[in-house]
Amino acid sequence: MKKKFFVVAVLFLLAAGCAALEPLEVREKMYGRGVPVITQSFASKEIRPGDNWKVYLNAHDPDGEMKQIVCVIEQPGVGVYPAAYTRIKADNRKELSGYIYLTTFDVNYSSLNFTNLTLRVQIQDMAGHYSAPVFFPLSVNALYRQEPAPQNVFKEHDLGPIMIRLRTVADGHARNF
């Protein structure tokens, strides 16, 4: 009896999951075929432990339906962190200019000294399209200073946090918190 219930429950969950997935063609009819594009980007290559690392983006979507900013960090000795998603507010879905930020002061930030990582950023739209990725290397060192963004290129507009908590090599494998 338990085995039959388990099999039926698994089949039901699989069917429900598959029914919830719309084919790309259906999503494109609803939202359009345009793909988001990151037109300009900037991030300082160096920061001090404890700083908020600002990553500046200018982007647009011809269909005006950008959904979220997708960030993945790869850190030597720790690995690849799970993707972090920053929702794009409705007023920024066609054109976007501002910064996302990675917080480094919520951990024992002195242990982040001499940390290196690479951030990959993409924008996803409502149809499920992704922009081409942009990559940002970062070195964390107490002697460094974060370089400001070029003037008159990006708005000083907070788009939201990169919800990844950095770990040190001693902490082990990457995890999202």
Structural domain of 100: 34-171
Contact 85, 129 (CB under 8 A): no
- Residue 20 inside a domain? The answer is no
3-class secondary structure per residue, the chain: CHHHHHHHHHHHHHHHHHHHCCCHHHHHHHHCCCCCEEEEEEECCEECCCCEEEEEEEEECCCCCEEEEEEEEEECCCEECCCEEEECCHHHCCEEEEEEEEECCCCCHHHHCCEEEEEEEEEEECCCCECCCEEEEEEECCCCCCCCCCCCCCCCCEEEECCCCCCCHHHCCCCCC
Q: Look at the chain and report how many structural domains it folds into.
A: 1
Please check whether residue 111 lies inside any domain of the structure: yes
In a domain? residue 13: no
| Residue 47 maps to a domain | yes
> What pLDDT does 119 receive?
98
Strands in 158-161's sheet, in edge-to-edge order, are: 37-43, 52-60, 95-103, 158-161
Model pLDDT, residue 113: 86
71 domain residue, yes or no: yes
**CATH code, domain carrying 82:** 2.60.40.10
Q: Residue 174: what pLDDT? A: 53
The pLDDT value recorded for residue 29 is 82
- Looking at residue 32, what is its pLDDT? 83
- Residue 84 is predicted with a pLDDT of 98
Residue 90 in any domain: the answer is yes
For residue 69, tell me if it sits in a domain: yes
Whether 72 maps to a domain, the answer reads yes
Per-residue pLDDT of the chain (177 residues; tens, 9 = 90+): 556 544 554 444 444 444 346 788 888 888 888 999 999 999 999 999 989 999 999 999 999 999 999 999 999 989 999 999 999 998 889 999 999 999 987 666 668 889 999 999 999 999 999 999 999 999 999 999 999 999 999 999 999 999 999 987 776 555 554
Look up tokens 């991030």; give the residue: 43
In angstroms, rounded to a whole number, what is the distance separating the alpha carbons of residues 127 and 25?
A: 9
Q: Which of 109, 96, 117, 97 is nearest to 52 (CA)?
A: 109
